[in-house]
Amino acid sequence: MAGKEWFGSFVQRHNLSIRKPEATSLQRATAFNKFNVGLFFEKLKSLYEKYSFDPGCVYNMDETAITTVQVPSKVVSHRGEKHVGRIVSAERGELVTMALAVSATGNMGGPIGCVGTANSSGWMTRAHFPDFLKHFKNHSGANNDRPVLLILDNHDSHLDIDGINNGIALLTIPPHTSHRLQPLDCTALHSLWAV
């Protein structure tokens, strides 16, 4: 039977490392496939061919939940210490959802601003998405003469027909693939929670 030393040598010899796997649901693992990804990029290509978007007219929208009470990071303490604490704003906080859109050039293309709406659940709903789109349209300068592309996940709150505005082409990411295809999910928002 191979022992720890053999395994350690094997790992070193083949330039391998032991890593903690990312928890991935079966839905995500099966949905992120060549067909779904290919279909998404075909739709993206057809929108580019139809509208000839320049980089400043391509936006990615995503949401993230932020709690008003942050989880403290680890600290060093004496071995055997029973009560190690860190001051936070409260023991139980409120859930706040932040929805943001960023252009391919890294800015909103207009004056900086934000708008707030409220919901008892803390999550975006179909009632709030049209408010987001109206605000987005004002800041992106979207219109029929200068359309913009908004890439977003296909959460049901984003699929309300009343929320569609002239000048905004909506492209949704295939279900259960945002962990790999959603630019904000893979970069800025992922980094927000990595600290």
pLDDT digit string, tens, across residues 129-171: 888 888 888 888 888 888 999 998 887 777 766 556 678 888 9
Any domain includes 21: no
Report the pLDDT value the prediction gives residue 105, as an integer from 0 to 100: 72
Token reading at 114: 């934000």
Residue of 151, 187, 181 whose CA lies nearest to 37: 181
CATH of the domain at 50: 3.30.420
Which is more confident, 178 or 146? 146
3-state helix, strand and coil shares in percent for the chain, rounded to the nearest 5: 35, 15, 50
pLDDT digit string, tens, across residues 71-86: 666 666 667 776 666 6
Any domain includes 11: no
Q: For the chain, how many structural domains are there in total? A: 1
pLDDT digit string, tens, across residues 49-68: 999 998 889 998 888 777 66
Residue of 99, 181, 171, 108 whose CA lies nearest to 132: 99
Any domain includes 175: yes
Residue of 193, 195, 160, 164 whose CA lies nearest to 179: 193
Any domain includes 14: no
CA separation for the pair 81, 124 (Å, rounded): 42
Any domain includes 34: yes
Report the pLDDT value the prediction gives residue 187, as an integer from 0 to 100: 66
* Residue indicated by tokens 């919901």: 119
Any domain includes 177: yes
Structural domain harbouring 176: 30-68+91-193
DSSP code, position 104: T
* Residues β-bridged to residue 97: 65
